[in-house]
């Protein structure tokens, strides 16, 4: 038995993979970490619980319900939200050139500024998203723009961290924002997921540095792609 009759331990359910967004369908596995009892599940759109005997296919948005049946468990139902996504359409580039364009600003900010309202100090092109293109160590801002090449249609996860503030946009969608001043160590934004079609997608990164340890990193993970830095060979601009 689990626990005592008066105070039974509750089941611990693990649903993998952790990504809850999908495009066509999602194959999931359900594990009872307590290893006692029988698992039953109800997929989005279904009206009945079924006995779990192996991987389950989810093809609709909605809630996955999971419960473990055992005479020492209370009747608890666990809920997991899944969302079927339509991939963001890729764009066509007329004349792609490796790298990004950037604009450089100076100022003393506590939060991400609206760079369109700031005085432009300089602009140019760079290979990748990096603060090393600027020698200044404090009180400056950067706006990077260009395109990221997505190798396969799928769900992609982006990871943003910076010291001080930053914002990441893909297409017209804000994925992550770090709006404020960091301490000595960079701030990590929560991972953000987006469905993307194979091809080129606009990318924009805003960044400001107030003081101490200027830092800006963007990482990506997706289909057949382990988490890795967004590198120069993924980034382009359109020389129209």
Beta strands in 85-164 (DSSP E): 96-98, 100-106, 120-126, 140-150, 154-163
Given a contact cutoff of 8 angstroms between Cβ atoms, the answer to whether 170 and 146 are in contact is no
SS3 134: coil
Q: What is the pLDDT along the chain (240 residues), one digit of tens a residue?
A: 343 344 445 668 899 998 899 999 999 999 988 777 889 999 999 999 999 999 999 999 999 999 988 876 666 889 999 999 999 999 999 999 999 999 999 999 989 999 999 999 999 999 999 999 988 889 999 999 999 999 999 999 999 998 888 999 999 999 999 887 876 667 778 889 999 999 999 999 999 998 878 889 999 999 999 999 999 999 999 987
Cα distances (Å, whole numbers) of residue 174 to 85, 97, 117: 16, 24, 19
pTM of the model: 0.86
Does residue 120 come out as left (phi exceeding 0), alpha (psi in the -120 to 50 range) or beta? beta
pLDDT value, residue 74: 60
**pLDDT attached to residue 218:** 95
| Dist CA 12 CA 68 (whole Å) | 9
């Amino acid at each position: 038995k689990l626990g005592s009759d008066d105070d039974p331990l509750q089941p611990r359910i693990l649903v993998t993979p952790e990504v809850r967004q999908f495009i066509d369908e999602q194959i999931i596995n359900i594990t009872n970490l307590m290893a006692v009892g029988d698992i039953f599940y109800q997929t989005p759109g279904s009206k009945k619980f079924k006995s779990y005997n192996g991987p389950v296919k989810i093809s609709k948005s909605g809630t996955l319900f999971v419960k473990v049946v055992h005479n020492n468990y209370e009747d608890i139902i666990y809920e997991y939200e899944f969302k079927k996504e339509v991939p963001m359409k890729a764009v066509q580039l007329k004349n792609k050139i490796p790298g990004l364009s950037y604009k450089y600003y100076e100022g003393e900010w506590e939060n991400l500024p609206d760079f369109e309202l700031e005085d432009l100090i300089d602009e140019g092109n760079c290979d990748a998203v990096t603060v090393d293109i600027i020698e200044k160590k404090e009180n400056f801002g950067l706006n990077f723009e260009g395109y990221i090449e997505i190798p396969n249609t799928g769900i992609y996860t982006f990871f943003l961290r910076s010291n001080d503030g930053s914002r990441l946009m893909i297409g017209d969608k804000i994925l992550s924002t770090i709006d404020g001043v960091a301490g000595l160590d960079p701030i990590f934004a929560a991972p953000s997921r987006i469905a993307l079609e194979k091809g080129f997608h606009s990318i924009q990164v805003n960044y400001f540095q107030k003081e101490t340890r200027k830092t800006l990193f963007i990482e990506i993970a997706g289909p057949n792609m382990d988490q890795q830095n967004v590198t120069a060979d993924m980034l382009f601009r359109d020389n129209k």
